[in-house]
A and B are shown apart, each in its own frame.
Chain A
Amino acid sequence: DSGVTQTPKHLITATGQRVTLRCSPRSGDLSVYWYQQSLDQGLQFLIQYYNGEERAKGNILERFSAQQFPDLHSELNLSSLELGDSALYFCASSAPEGWPANEQFFGPGTRLTVL
C-alpha cells in the first residue's frame, strides 16, 4: 500500500460523457501527478500540481483538466469522452520538491472504459 488512494477503481461510461477521477496523496506529500497508461503503452505524464498550483504539463488534452484542492487531494476531469480515452489513470505523489527528483508513489489507478 503506497498511501495514495484513488477513486473510483473502475469507471464505465459512454462517449461524450464527463467523468471525475479523484486522488488523495500520501500524508505530507505536496506534489500530485497524473498519468495515463493505455494498453501496452508506457506511462504518459499528464499534469503535475504542487500545493494547489499547476507546476508542469505533459500531453494533456484540452478536454482534460485537473485541480488540487487546499486539502491537497486532486481531481482529474475528463470531458467529451472518446473511445480512445479508455485507459488506466494513475495518480502519484511525492515529497516536497527537491533536487534531484524524488521518487513517486503511485495509487492503485482508475480503469476508465468508454463505450
Chain B
Amino acid sequence: GQQVMQIPQYQHVQEGEDFTTYCNSSTTLSNIQWYKQRPGGHPVFLIQLVKSGEVKKQKRLTFQFGEAKKNSSLHITATQTTDVGTYFCAGPRRQGGSEKLVFGKGTKLTVNP
C-alpha cells in the first residue's frame, strides 16, 4: 500500500540554524499536508499543498511540493526554540468511497538555545 517516508527521523540544531525535513511517497499524491506536534501536545495542521511544484511560505517556514507530486519538504530558516516539536507530513489515500490520511513517522526537531 501507499507509504509515506520521512527523513530524518531526528534533527538537532543550534538556535539560528536552518532545518529541513523531507517527505517521500511511493505513489503520486493529490495533495500533501503538514502537521506540527509540540512535546506533550497534539498534531496541529500547518498547511496543505495541492499543485505540482507549489511553494508556500509561512513566516520562516517554506513548504514545497515536488513536480511529480510524490515528494515534499519543509524548511525552517533560522530556527527558534519555539520551533521544537515533531513535524509530520501526510498524504491522502483513497479507500472505498472515502479518504484517509497516511502520516509519515515524523521528524523530531530539537533546538539548542
Contact = CB atoms under 8 A, between A and B. Distances in A.
B106 A100 contact: no
Interface residues of A, number: 26
Q: Chain B's interface: helix, strand, loop or mixed, by majority?
A: strand
Given A41-B105, A42-B104, A50 B98 contact: yes
Contacts, number: 67
A42 B103 contact: yes
Interface string B77-105: 00000000000101010011111111111
A58 B103 CA distance: 12
Nearest to A97: B98
Contact of A101 (B33, B97, B106): B33
By Cβ-Cβ distance, the 6 closest A-B pairs, closest first, are A42-B105, A101-B92, A55-B98, A100-B31, A103-B45, A106-B42
